[in-house]
Amino acid sequence: MKRVAFLLKVRGDKVEEYKEHHRAVWPEMLEALRRNGWHNYSLFMREDGLLFGYFETPESFQAALGGMAKEEVNARWQDLMAPYFEGLGGAHADESMIELEEVFHLD
């Protein structure tokens, strides 16, 4: 499994609302993530909205993103989430994720 990490920034005035959406992610979205190789997926957020995402995938980050890009439910979810993020320049969050380099892993 490949470990993937990324950062995004949630708008400060939208942090609580963003968290509320993630307490009840649509079942069809969860199924799509699993179907496209997103395993052990977690999101962590600081009080200021800095968001750290982590997941494991059998292929690559790009393959996992590409699979989700083909899912209709992902387009709807990304449209819903777009107003919550800073600095995306009109793009969806999943189009703006930049993979962080793994520099250490303790087995």
pLDDT in tens, the chain (107 residues): 999 999 999 999 999 999 999 999 999 999 999 999 999 999 999 999 999 999 999 999 999 999 999 999 999 999 999 999 998 888 999 999 989 999 999 98
Q: How many CB atoms lie within 10 A of CB 32?
A: 19
pLDDT, residue 90, reads 82
Is the whole model's pTM more than 0.85, yes or no?
yes
Active-site residue, 105 included: no
- Residue ranges of domains in the chain, CATH in brackets: 2-95 (3.30.70.100)
Q: Tokens representing 22?
A: 């993630």
Among residues 36, 101, 35, the alpha carbon closest in space to that of 65 is found at 36
| Cα–Cα distance for residue pair 57/77, rounded to 1 Å | 20
Question: For residue 107, what pLDDT is reported?
Answer: 85
Cβ proximity of 68 and 36 under 8 Å:
yes
Q: Which residue among the candidates 22, 39, 92, 105 is catalytic per the annotation? A: 22
